[in-house]
Each structure stands twice: as structure tokens, then as C-alpha cells.
């Protein structure tokens, strides 16, 4: 059970670093683009680490699906909340 929890945490951190790195390196100013590139390197490093540990593909797949499911659930909840507020 603890392997899945650690894998989910690392997968979430990896996806966040990759997403932030892409956004910051593309939209950031000249100073912050270096930070975006650093985030990308850290995200790629985490991806390599997650896929290189034993039995990681199973845990990585489960963690990735759980992370994406949680994000989609949160987005759907926010949309429903906003529609309810706008309608009232």
C-alpha cells in the first residue's frame, strides 16, 4: 500500500513539474524561463526515477490513472459549482 502512495506522490509531483515547466518556459520572461527549464529537468528526472524502480510500471500506471481521475473529478466539480452559481 505504501508503494502506491509514494508512487502517486511522485507521479503528481512529476506531472506538476512538467506542466509548470512547460508553461513557465514558454510564457515566462527571460529570467523565469530558466526556472521553467529547471522544472522541466526535475520533472524528467522524476519520470526517469519512477520508471526505473522495481515494479514501477504497475505503480506508475495506477498512480497516473488515479491522478488524472482526481484532476478530472475536481474540474467537473468546479464546473458544476460554477454552473449552479451562474444559474441562480
Per-residue pLDDT of the chain (88 residues; tens, 9 = 90+): 666 777 777 878 888 888 888 988 888 888 888 888 999 999 899 888 877 775 656 667 777 787 788 888 888 988 998 888 888 7
Ramachandran bin of 55, using left for φ above 0, alpha for ψ from -120 to 50, beta for the remaining angles: left
The total domain count for the chain is: 1
Instruction: Name the residue with cell 508553461.
Output: 23
Question: Directed axis angle between helix 2-27 and helix 56-87, to 10°?
Answer: 60
Residue 1 is given by DSSP the state -
d(CA 48, CA 24): 21
pTM higher than 0.85, yes or no? no
| pLDDT value of position 41 | 93
| pLDDT value of position 56 | 58
| pLDDT value of position 8 | 76
| pLDDT value of position 13 | 85
Amino acid at each position: 500500500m505504501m508503494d502506491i502512495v509514494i508512487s502517486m506522490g511522485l507521479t503528481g509531483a512529476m506531472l506538476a513539474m512538467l506542466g509548470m515547466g512547460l508553461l513557465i518556459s514558454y510564457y515566462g520572461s527571460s529570467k523565469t524561463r530558466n526556472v521553467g527549464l529547471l522544472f522541466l529537468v526535475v520533472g524528467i528526472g522524476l519520470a526517469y526515477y519512477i520508471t526505473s524502480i522495481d515494479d514501477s510500471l504497475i505503480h506508475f500506471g495506477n498512480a497516473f490513472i488515479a491522478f488524472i481521475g482526481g484532476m478530472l473529478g475536481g474540474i467537473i466539480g468546479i464546473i458544476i459549482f460554477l454552473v449552479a452559481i451562474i444559474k441562480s
